[in-house]
Amino acid sequence: MSESKIGYIVNELKQALGESIKEVKIDKKMTKITVEKDALVRAASVLKGLGFDHVKGVTGIDLIALKPPEDSFEVMYHAGSYSVQELANIIVTIATRIPRNNPEVPSLTSIWPSCEYHERETYEMFGIIFSGHPNLKRLLLPEWWSDAPPLRKDYRPPGR
Amino acid sequence: MYRQDEVKEASFFDTGEGLVFSYGPQHPGTGHFRLIVRVIGDTVLSAEPDPGFVHRGEEKLCEYKTWITNIPHLERPAILDAAGMLYPYCLAVEKLMGVEPPLRARYIRPIVAELNRIGSHFYYFALYGVFLGLTTPFMWAFGDREFVVDLVQFIGGQRITHSYFVPGGVRNDVPKRVPSGLVKQFRAWYRDATGRSPSSDELTDDFQKYVLRVMEFLDARLDHYWDLMLNNALFMDRTVNVGKLTAEEAAKLGVVGVTLRATGIKRDVRIDEPYDAYGEFKFDVPVRTEGDSYARAVVAFEEMRQSIRIITQAVEGLPDGPVKNKQHPVNIRVPAGEAIARAEAAHGESVYYVRSDGTDRPYRVRMLTASFRNLIVIPYLSRGAKLAEIPAIYWSQNVWPVEWDR
């Protein structure tokens, strides 16, 4: 049942975004739709229109240590739904890749207020700037932290 | 996201002379965190959370440790609910490996998870009382919690941080017998709580019988908690209509756990996306519609009854067989890929994203813990509230500061 539902969601996204969708991955492990950075806001509003009313979290990944290395960050939004019962067992992830030397993505807080603190955490841990975020400042790191953002792969913790 | 028109009645009082002070970080009841509170008179103008005092860098640590050696530190953010922290990690790694745990393990894992949920909810009620100046539940709940952590100790070897779950099963089988000295002591407790004496056949040192009697004992004990806390006029005075959240707001803020279910949204991963043997058990998801601090306490209270039901069914229907897949004990290889998995922890829905690059350690583990998703509610509900309502608003979310920090 959920497979056909996911197919419907992906179709809607394809219709709305067209060429901006770079990769669609649907399997038992996760449902992930990679879009261009410019299409992120549109993808989010399409999902919101379909009933995905909150995000379960925002994930950042530094892809520099992959083999072969990729000089970019990946930002993912895991969206879920409370208002539509049929979507209860579905988590749709929309992802985008951004260059490491210009890590900036539009903030989705205007569409999903629930990602406010998740974006703040990704900002301080990866140095990714979410433009348009209402309160983009440090959350967990100490205020005297002056080293590189710690979850980047090129940050080596002392003693390791 | 807090537009001026959403600032309830607070803006009316804001003449720019608010007093700013720090609520915490010295342990306002649980782990270390602080709220930067701005008040005028007794009315809270804003309460900004400032977590991070117990930040351990769990996600970074995961990248340095192997798939198995990650287990003991992953449970640290919520030691009272270690199963809830480990469950989504194990499910995600199993998805990546493409394996399923043996049938017996799929029954044992819910038993431990529900025991941890009961233990965690006892903790919740213990500190809920302390937050409101009612210290008797602290003594009661910690006394009754002993029976739960004892059981976890018999099963997993440790009272709280048991590291019992591994990808592909559980670390060891449940014991056949429990210490007879404990059974002898327990007999008196059972009589006190339920009012009847168990026959020598009903209560022996047999593991299954002991667990079933402990569940009956806890079920009887919960009646006393109802009278002590939830049906207590003083407790209700401090919690009813305090920190009210509507269903629309809950969906907008993406809250989880008791905060979500107290607003009338019936969501529970154990029902929506059953994992392990949860699909086989009969249980309800308690829901209230009021959305206030009192409703959250009632939902948590009802959840303990449902956990008792689940454990009873799981112990009665425990199948035979191995408890762990055949694999290397410490060095497993996980195929490259990414997976997302979720489980219902005691504090709410817990989602993990795990990515592997095919080596012996994770490329990235993202812990989207339940408490972190409820963090947003505390400033939202504190606005316009009275200063004395902050403890009820904060603790009724069933959050745990270390889960915010990770």
Query: What ipTM was assigned to the predicted interfaces of this complex?
Result: 0.90
> What CA–CA distance (Å, rounded) separates A51 from B310?
32
- The three-state DSSP-derived secondary structure of A84-118 is CHHHCCCCEEEEEEEECCCCEEECCCCCCHHHHHH
pLDDT 10s digits, B217-272: 999 999 888 888 888 888 888 898 888 888 888 988 989 989 999 998 998 999 88
State mean pLDDT over A3-13. Answer: 82
> What CA–CA distance (Å, rounded) separates B69 from B62?
9
The minimal CB distance from A139 to the residues B51, B96, B353 is found for B51
Residue A155 lies in a domain: no
Residue B13 lies in a domain: no
CB contact at 8 A, A66 and B363? yes
Contact B349 A116 (CB under 8 A): no
**What's the gap in Å between the CA of B263 and the closest CA on chain A?**
11
- pLDDT for residue A58: 93
Token readout for A92 is: 């749709």
Confidence of residue B6 (pLDDT cuts 50, 70, 90): very low
Chain A residue at shortest CA distance from B377: A114
Domains held by chain A: number:
1
Contact A29 B339 (CB under 8 A): yes
State mean pLDDT over A61-71. Answer: 87
Domain that holds residue A59: 2-106
Contact A91 B60 (CB under 8 A): no
> What CA–CA distance (Å, rounded) separates A66 from A81?
32
Domains held by chain B: number:
1
Residue A158 lies in a domain: no
> What CA–CA distance (Å, rounded) separates A15 from A46?
10
**What's the gap in Å between the CA of A32 and the closest CA on chain B?**
10
> What CA–CA distance (Å, rounded) separates A110 from B3?
11
Residue A66 lies in a domain: yes
CB contact at 8 A, B122 and B145? yes
**Mode of pairing for the β-strands spanning A104-106 and A129-131:** parallel
Sign of CA dihedral B383, B384, B389, B392: negative
Residue A126 lies in a domain: no
- pLDDT for residue B16: 65
Length of chain A: 160
- pLDDT for residue B190: 87
Confidence of residue B14 (pLDDT cuts 50, 70, 90): low
Q: What DSSP assignment string belongs to B190-237?
A: HHHHHSSPPPTTTSSSBHHHHHHHHHHHHHHHHHHHIIIIIT-HHHHH
The minimal CB distance from A30 to the residues B60, B338, B404 is found for B338
Residue A77 lies in a domain: yes
Contact B252 A65 (CB under 8 A): no
Residue B241 lies in a domain: yes
**Mode of pairing for the β-strands spanning A104-106 and B43-50:** unpaired
DSSP-derived 3-state class of residue B31: coil
User: Which amino acid would we find at residue B215?
Assistant: M
DSSP H helices, chain A, are: 2-17, 40-50, 116-126
Token readout for A58 is: 């925002």
- pLDDT for residue A106: 92
pLDDT 10s digits, B319-363: 988 888 888 777 888 888 899 999 999 998 999 999 998 888 899
Residue B88 lies in a domain: yes
**What's the gap in Å between the CA of A11 and the closest CA on chain B?**
22
Contact A114 B254 (CB under 8 A): yes
Mean pLDDT of chain A: 87
Residue A101 lies in a domain: yes
Token readout for B267 is: 């969501």
State mean pLDDT over B148-157. Answer: 89
The minimal CB distance from A142 to the residues B52, B340, B375 is found for B52
Is the per-residue pLDDT at B12 higher than 60? no
Residue B21 lies in a domain: no
Token pair 């309800």: residue: B284
Testing the interface with A: which of B50, B60, B265 to mutate, by most A Cβ within 10 A? B60
- pLDDT for residue B114: 93
In CATH, what number is assigned to the domain containing residue B74?
Answer: 1.10.645.10
Confidence of residue A157 (pLDDT cuts 50, 70, 90): confident
Contact A114 B273 (CB under 8 A): no
The minimal CB distance from A117 to the residues B247, B339, B375 is found for B375
Q: Which residues of A touch B (CB under 8 A)?
A: 28-30, 32, 53-57, 59, 61, 65-67, 76, 78, 80, 82-83, 88-89, 91, 93, 109, 112-118, 121, 125, 134, 138-142, 150-151, 157, 160
- pLDDT for residue B2: 43
Token readout for A133 is: 């975020």
Domain that holds residue B230: 52-400
Token readout for A109 is: 């807080």
In CATH, what number is assigned to the domain containing residue A25?
Answer: 3.30.460.80
Return phi, psi of residue A94, to 5°.
-105, 135
Residue A113 lies in a domain: no
pLDDT 10s digits, B79-109: 888 888 899 999 999 999 888 899 999 999 9
